[in-house]
Amino acid sequence: MTTDVARISDAEIVARQHAVPRAFGRPLAERLSIVSGWSAFAGLIVFCLWHMDFTPQRLWQGIWKLGWLAQLMFPPWHGGWLREFSYAMLQTLAMAFLGTLLASLGAVPLGFLGARNVVPQWLFHFGVRRIFDGIRGVDALLWALMFVNVVGLGPFAGVMAIAVSDTGTLTKLFAEAIENVDRRPLDGVRASGANRLQVMRFGILPQVLPVLLSHILYFFESNTRSATILGVVGAGGIGLQLADRIRVNNWDEVGFLLLMILLTVSLIDQLSKTIRRRFI
């Protein structure tokens, strides 16, 4: 059926509008809720700006001061501390490496315990998962702060902080990887008379090992980033030097340290990309 548009009557239009009201615009209630939603959003933003003291004057002063700092940072200069800085960078890398290593050593058995298909008791793996969710919810920097209280200032606190916080995350990832294994090799190993430990060793481990390795490598990469800041709370490495230089206003050295961090992080990125392409 075709309708001649030129001869359509007003009554017909009204009838059509009643038949399919949504084609001609949103109903009033919906429009109101959209408008009120957006105005609540805008109101929240205005409240935040007011509450956090975002005055134009303060912003302007801060930006002016930032420009001044950027000028001071240029040209970056190590100020005769090149050896100390390099050693601190090495320390940061060592912290990331040892932290990741400890975390993965801990997370492999815990991941098995947290996997549904290894431990069929649901309460147990549920409990393991929730505990590690809790550990994961606490940032590495917070762990570092607590470890500084326990073992004192220095890179050891940083290593422990990375190890503990990553054990939480890696356990979750490992448990998920283990739950996703193909069942058939397990059945095969079991059918040939293997006990539970042997099923894990010959049925599960060969399947999940590449996944675990790639997770570990990724975590090493991200830990080099997070290890750079652990020093700010006193856990050693390049962050300690950086926070010190900011405190004493040696901005050319701050610039140098920032460049060092950028360079090292991108180097590690490249390295892990190469390793991943070649081995995994």
Amino acid identity, residue 128? V
Which one of 213, 217, 265, 271 is in contact with other proteins (CB under 8 A)?
Answer: 265
Q: Which residues, 6+ apart, have CB-to-CB distance to 211 below 8 Å? A: 177
Q: Which residues, 6+ apart, have CB-to-CB distance to 143 below 8 Å? A: 160, 161, 164, 165
Q: How far is the CB of 13 from other proteins (least distance, A)?
A: 29
Q: Name which of 98 and 177 has its Cβ closer to other proteins.
A: 98
The answer to whether 62 contacts other proteins (rule: CB under 8 A) is yes
Q: Name which of 178 and 257 has its Cβ closer to other proteins.
A: 257
Q: Name which of 208 and 241 has its Cβ closer to other proteins.
A: 241
The answer to whether 54 contacts other proteins (rule: CB under 8 A) is yes
Which one of 175, 186, 242, 268 is in contact with other proteins (CB under 8 A)?
Answer: 242
Q: Name which of 141 and 205 has its Cβ closer to other proteins.
A: 141
Q: How far is the CB of 10 from other proteins (least distance, A)?
A: 34
Q: Is the dihedral of CA 121, 115, 131, 133 positive or negative?
A: negative
3-class DSSP string for 89-154: HHHHHHHHHHHHHHHHHHHHHHHHHHCCCCCCCHHHHHHHHHHHHHHHHCCHHHHHHHHHHHHCCC
The answer to whether 149 contacts other proteins (rule: CB under 8 A) is yes
Number of residues that bind other proteins (CB under 8 A): 61
Residue carrying structure tokens 């601190």: 88
In the region spanning residues 159 to 188, those forming contacts with other proteins, defined by CB under 8 A, are: 159-160
Q: Length of the chain, please?
A: 280
Q: How far is the CB of 189 from other proteins (least distance, A)?
A: 22
Crossing angle of helices 238-247/251-279, nearest 10°?
Answer: 160
Burial of 231 (0-12, 13-18, 19+ CB in 10 A): buried
252 within 8 A of 75, measured Cβ to Cβ: yes
Whether the upstream peptide bond of residue 75 has omega within 30° of 0, thus cis, is yes
Q: Name which of 135 and 211 has its Cβ closer to other proteins.
A: 135
The answer to whether 228 contacts other proteins (rule: CB under 8 A) is yes
Stretch (H or E) spanning 274: helix 251-279
Q: Name which of 112 and 147 has its Cβ closer to other proteins.
A: 147
Give the footprint of other proteins on this chain (CB under 8 A).
44-45, 48-49, 51-54, 58-59, 61-63, 65-66, 69, 87, 90-91, 93-95, 97-98, 101, 133-134, 137-139, 141-142, 145-147, 149-151, 154-156, 158-160, 225-226, 228-229, 232-233, 236, 239, 242-243, 246, 254, 258, 261-262, 265-266
